[in-house]
Each structure stands twice: as structure tokens, then as C-alpha cells.
């Protein structure tokens, strides 16, 4: 994993460990959602948090960004404890893309992206901020939508706009919650390619963590999978290590067949019948 520059906004860009989670625990009242979660993510990694609905994926993502405050454990981003940072400081090193946004008063796409500059400016925008926005718009193929209202976009376009806003924010770590939900197949690929390009184009200085329940997307786009089951990490490793027939049966309760023509080609998981619980 090489470490090239990542812009002036990250003086500590030589940090190799971007995310460090230790013994994280979260519960809603009596119900334990996450228990003893520990992992470390280094720069350049594209990590899928895989699990079925209710496994705690969304909560885990939210705990990394102080959207949720965990009861136990510690989260460090770029070697700094997130509970000791202001949100504005934190938002310079990490950007979170929610599964969907609830818009009450929509703005133009350009202005949505401009919000990504907010952690870096006091009030006034400079020409550099505006250029960062239009550059990102071009990179995401959103030029034609620049002055369209956010609420008039399709689901796929909105998702791309919110991811583009995160890119304008220029953090080290991207957290995405189910980035492909509500999208058709073509847009799923489009959005996931945009996400992985973020890391590829950063020369390995950034990393992406995304929560996902689609095994095939996890296998195809990540280089590391953290498999979450009932609030605990069941497996953690490369896609071919983690996505096995027995793990799929345990977590998703379905039989499956895994096809991979060579070790470099993407895995293809064919879902079969539901298996009986209690295996």
C-alpha cells in the first residue's frame, strides 16, 4: 500500500492506520447491537461490512462517525480518538454517506456539493472551493445536473451527488451505508465504480468502508470483507477467504454456489435454496 500525498488538508497523511476500532459495543436499551468489535483499516483498503438486515452494519458505520455514540470501546480515525474531536474536526478526516437523505428544502446540485467545503471554510467560499466543486461534478459526470434541484433527480443521481459531496469534503475515510440500495443493476455498478475510483485515484492514501447486504457487490468491489453476524465479527479477510459456502449459510441462511474462473477474476455467488436454521 503506497502512501502518496493527499492534499494540504491532511498534514498527517503518512498515517498508515486510518481506522482503528477496539472492543466497540453498542446497545439499544437491553438489546445488544454490536459486541466486542475490533478491527483496523489501513489506507488504500476498500472494506465491505457484510451482513444480513439487522446484523448491526448501519450502527457500526454510524459509530465510526459519531452519528451514534457507542457505549463501549474506542474508535480512532487517523490515530485520533473520535470522541475527543469536534464534529467539524472529525468531518475533515471522515465523511459519511447515509443510506438515504431526508430533504426538506432542496438546493441545486452545485450547492449540495459546496456543502462538502463547509468543514474547511469559515463562511465565505473562495474560487478554489468553487473549482473543487466543478471539478468533482465533472469527475462524476454530473455537469449537466449542476443546476438542477436535488429533489428532481432520480435515486441513482442523488446517490452519486451525495457521494460527490463527500469527495468534495476530501476526507481520508469514506463511510457509506448501503450505497446501492434502491438502485437498478446498471446504477449499482456506476455508483460502486465511482466509490472504488475514489481510492484508486488517491494513490492509496484514502480508504472506503461500505455496509452492504449484497454478497456479489461485496465480492466484486471490496478487497476486504468484514462479515458481521448478530453484532459480532464472524470473519474478516479477503473476499475469497470470507465469502464461503458455510459462512453464507450461517449468516444469510441460504445455500449457495461460488463460481470463480481464476483467482483474479471476480467471484460470482449464486444463491440457492433456503437452508434449515440451527446448522
Site for another protein, rule CB under 8 A? 62, 65-67, 86-92, 94-98, 101-108, 110-112, 115-116, 118-119, 123, 127, 130-131, 133-134, 137-138, 143, 146-147, 150, 162, 166, 169
Q: How far is the CB of 162 from another protein (least distance, A)?
A: 7
Q: What's the rounded Cα separation, in Å, for the pair 165 and 97? A: 9
For the chain, state the CA radius of gyration.
19
Q: How far is the CB of 96 from another protein (least distance, A)?
A: 4
Instruction: Please give the distance of CA 61 from its chain centroid, rounded to a whole number.
Output: 8
Q: How long a stretch of residues is the chain?
A: 279
Q: How far is the CB of 125 from another protein (least distance, A)?
A: 9
Cell of 37: 468489535
**Cβ nearer to another protein, comparing 15 with 177:** 177
Q: How far is the CB of 82 from another protein (least distance, A)?
A: 12
**Cβ nearer to another protein, comparing 112 with 208:** 112
**Cβ nearer to another protein, comparing 163 with 242:** 163
Instruction: Please give the distance of CA 63 from its chain centroid, rounded to a whole number.
Output: 13
- What 3-state DSSP class applies to 138? helix
- What 3-state DSSP class applies to 169? helix
Alpha helices in 9-64 (DSSP H): 57-63
**Cβ nearer to another protein, comparing 176 with 212:** 176
Q: How far is the CB of 56 from another protein (least distance, A)?
A: 16
Q: Which residues of 17-50 are buried (b: 16+ CB within 10 A; e: fewer)?
A: ebbbbeebbbeeeeebbbbebebebbbbbbbbbb
**Cβ nearer to another protein, comparing 21 with 168:** 168
Amino acid at each position: 500500500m503506497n502512501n502518496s500525498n493527499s492534499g494540504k488538508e491532511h498534514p498527517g497523511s503518512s498515517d498508515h492506520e486510518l481506522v482503528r476500532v477496539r472492543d466497540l459495543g453498542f446497545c439499544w436499551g437491553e438489546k445488544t447491537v454490536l459486541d466486542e468489535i475490533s478491527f483496523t483499516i489501513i489506507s488504500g483498503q476498500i472494506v465491505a461490512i457484510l451482513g444480513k438486515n439487522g446484523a448491526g452494519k448501519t450502527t457500526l458505520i454510524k459509530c465510526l462517525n459519531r452519528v451514534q455514540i457507542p457505549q463501549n470501546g474506542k474508535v480512532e480515525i487517523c490515530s485520533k480518538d473520535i470522541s475527543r474531536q469536534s464534529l467539524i474536526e472529525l468531518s475533515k478526516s471522515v465523511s459519511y454517506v447515509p443510506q438515504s437523505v431526508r430533504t426538506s428544502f432542496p438546493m441545486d446540485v452545485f450547492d449540495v456539493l459546496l456543502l462538502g467545503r463547509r468543514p474547511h471554510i469559515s463562511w465565505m467560499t473562495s474560487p478554489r472551493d468553487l473549482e473543487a466543486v466543478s471539478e468533482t461534478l465533472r469527475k462524476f459526470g454530473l455537469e449537466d445536473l449542476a443546476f438542477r434541484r436535488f429533489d428532481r433527480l432520480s435515486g441513482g443521481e442523488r446517490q452519486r451527488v451525495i457521494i460527490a459531496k463527500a469527495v468534495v469534503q476530501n476526507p481520508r475515510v469514506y463511510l457509506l451505508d448501503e450505497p446501492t440500495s434502491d438502485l437498478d443493476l446498471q446504477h449499482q455498478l456506476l455508483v460502486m465504480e465511482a466509490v472504488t475510483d475514489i481510492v484508486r485515484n488517491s494513490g492509496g492514501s484514502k480508504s472506503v468502508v461500505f455496509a452492504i447486504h449484497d454478497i456479489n457487490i461485496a465480492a466484486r468491489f471490496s478487497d476486504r470483507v468484514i462479515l458481521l453476524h448478530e453484532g459480532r465479527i464472524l470473519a474478516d479477510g479477503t473476499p475469497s477467504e470470507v465469502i464461503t459456502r458455510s459462512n453464507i449459510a450461517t449468516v444469510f441462511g441460504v445455500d449457495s454456489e461460488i463460481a470463480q474462473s481464476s483467482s483474479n477474476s471476480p467471484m460470482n455467488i449464486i444463491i440457492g435454496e433456503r437452508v434449515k436454521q440451527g446448522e
